[in-house]
Chain A
Amino acid sequence: MTLPLLMFFLLAALAVAGAVSLILARHPIRSALSLIVVMVALAGLYLLLGAEFVAMVQIIVYAGAIMVLFVLVIMLLNAGEEERTNLSRLAGPPGLLLAGALAAFLVTAAARSGQFIAAGGSEAPSGAVSTRALSGLLFREFVFPFELTSFLILVAILGALVLAQRENS
């Protein structure tokens, strides 16, 4: 087994273990920590795929900013262990069945399309070239969507401010 394949299986196992731990954990803070494990494992997979810039953005924005926001809200609301009701137990089996069916469908579709994907395969550009080409693409071809995202973030900031302010002010 070659080193990239070994790394892939190691990181994939880490990501799946983190996702399973997110489901099994009763306390929200444990779910948040397992989600961070998934994100770091995915960043490693991006490095393996030759997408260095995306890997760094994944660590900085996802694990660094978004998850800190989640953990902060969990602390702010003093979230405890989740309670189980009869309805939530009832929803279990059909939900598991449907999710399993969807994942099985996606896996078979991916496995069947393997030869099509392999046909178009080519060597990934190396790190510095890849990041340079990415920024060129982002600031030339995708410059309008890129500017729109700044507008989206502005609207999100305003929305969060309006939602979180006190009602009597």
Chain B
Amino acid sequence: MVPTSYYIILSAVLFGLGIVAFVFKRNVITVFMSIELMLNAVNLAFVAFSRALGRLDGQVFVLFVIVVAAAEAAVGLGIIILIARQRQSLNVERANLLKF
């Protein structure tokens, strides 16, 4: 048996790497992918806690997170296509319409 804390630590490391990617990457699509990475890290924590507590609720929540991620990907990529059409660029710094 692998201790549950190992899974939680791996989940934290993956979440941290997701934040690093979110801050560092300049391409809109890659920034969006780093959000998916963070969602995956949270899913791992859910499943690990689900096993540790002997309840399956955590796995049900993972299914909901996956559904929300799929919906988010569909709408988000639509927005990205619009940004690319408007700005002729995928750089996040060009998407500054709401910037003060």
Contacts and interface: CB of A to CB of B under 8 A. Distances in A.
Contact of A31 (B30, B48, B53, B91): B30
Contacts of A87: 93
Interface residues of B, number: 71
Interface string B46-83: 01111111101101101110111111111101111110
B97 interface: no
Contacts of B52: 117-118, 120-121
Contacts of B44: 42, 45-46
Contacts of A82: 25-27, 30, 90-91
Most A Cβ at <10 Å: residue of B9, B11, B54, B68: B9
Contacts, number: 241
A100 B73 CA distance: 27
* Interface of chain A, main secondary structure: helix
A118 B8 CA distance: 12
Most B Cβ at <10 Å: residue of A15, A100, A114: A15
B29 interface: yes
Given A46-B47, A54-B63, A99-B23, A133 B71 contact: no
Contacts of A84: 26
B59 A51 contact: yes
Interface residues of A, number: 83
B27 A120 contact: no
A156 B93 contact: no
Given A8-B6, A45-B44, A62-B69, A100 B16 contact: yes
Interface string B2-23: 1111111111111111111101
Given A85-B26, A145-B64, A22 B59 contact: no
Interface of B: 1-21, 23-27, 29-30, 32-34, 36-37, 40, 43-44, 47-54, 56-57, 59-60, 62-64, 66-75, 77-82, 84, 90-91, 93
